[in-house]
Structure 1
């Protein structure tokens, strides 16, 4: 670009999005004189979903600000807990985050999830239509203008992903109230109501059941309950 030169300083929490040369304080950047500051920051690789504020020469400015020669821009990370006004806090996860989706549902967090790749336009449209925060590791998806809200998932490890989402958004937790398969609400159910779904050993060994009000799936404290309970207890201890 041959327009005005500015200096840009990216917060350490956002360094993974920019080249190593831009991780050492304020570095020079040429602009075209017409693009917004939001566009300039995205061109560096930083999704605007991860930007908490843009500060120019000590004053906060909107993403629509047009940079002027000599300005120093500080790109700051999102403050936590992040508040998302305008709708109840709900999430939408892309195809790569199935384990995270199931764990959020286990904690009673309203979490939609696409188990097949329906494409970025369809995901962004659903985020907007249902007012859900889009969680993804796909920077291109998070740059789509039609998104209602979004957030980058920084880790590839489910334990770290869950901790990060709970720390960033602080959703209300209501464990054991949602179906981990479809996100429907659970209700208490009797053994007799579910007898047609249960194997003989399950009918003999368990007495307390729940059923999804949407897909009808049955739940009981089976072989994996201790592992799931550990996830719930850890989440409640750290974020409850």
Structure 2
């Protein structure tokens, strides 16, 4: 079976269910029912290549996408590469690398990313996000607290919870732009490698999907979708 033929089997009855995480503004922007950004663009290209109708399955956080992987709710998705997740789902090569950082209070003493990891500091993160996993491993002194999706964690931080909130830079900028009492640190907490995924780590069709991602990178599609 050719790789193209293998990709066609991802759709059922002519429908390709694609998990779209709207919590990551670097990848997805949503206005009403309209989805734009590099992830929806890749999803549409894949559906078009295999002659299927793309049906978005909307999620507000990456953790929920991962949790539903074994529940037959989506056929293909987009998630940050992580060893723990790789025990359950299959990853392609990354199609984009994005930055995560912190938002802090304007009057907070933190100047650099490293300053946040101090005794007595409370850091808020979105449950199951790539930066949640990074912070779980890397924080030595600060206390880590978790809350739902990225937008939920941002709103709780705005309301006064914790001393810093982690997030994708684009999402933090979208949430706190124009907020006089909140600033975003310029440093990089972690670089997040985003990939397309299948909900089963043993699915052999990941090779065909990886080839699809490679072609989309090489022919300039991914870069064009980022800048659209």
Q: TM-score, normalised by structure 1?
A: 0.24
**More strand as a share of residues:** 2
Larger radius of gyration: 1
Q: TM-score, normalised by structure 2?
A: 0.25
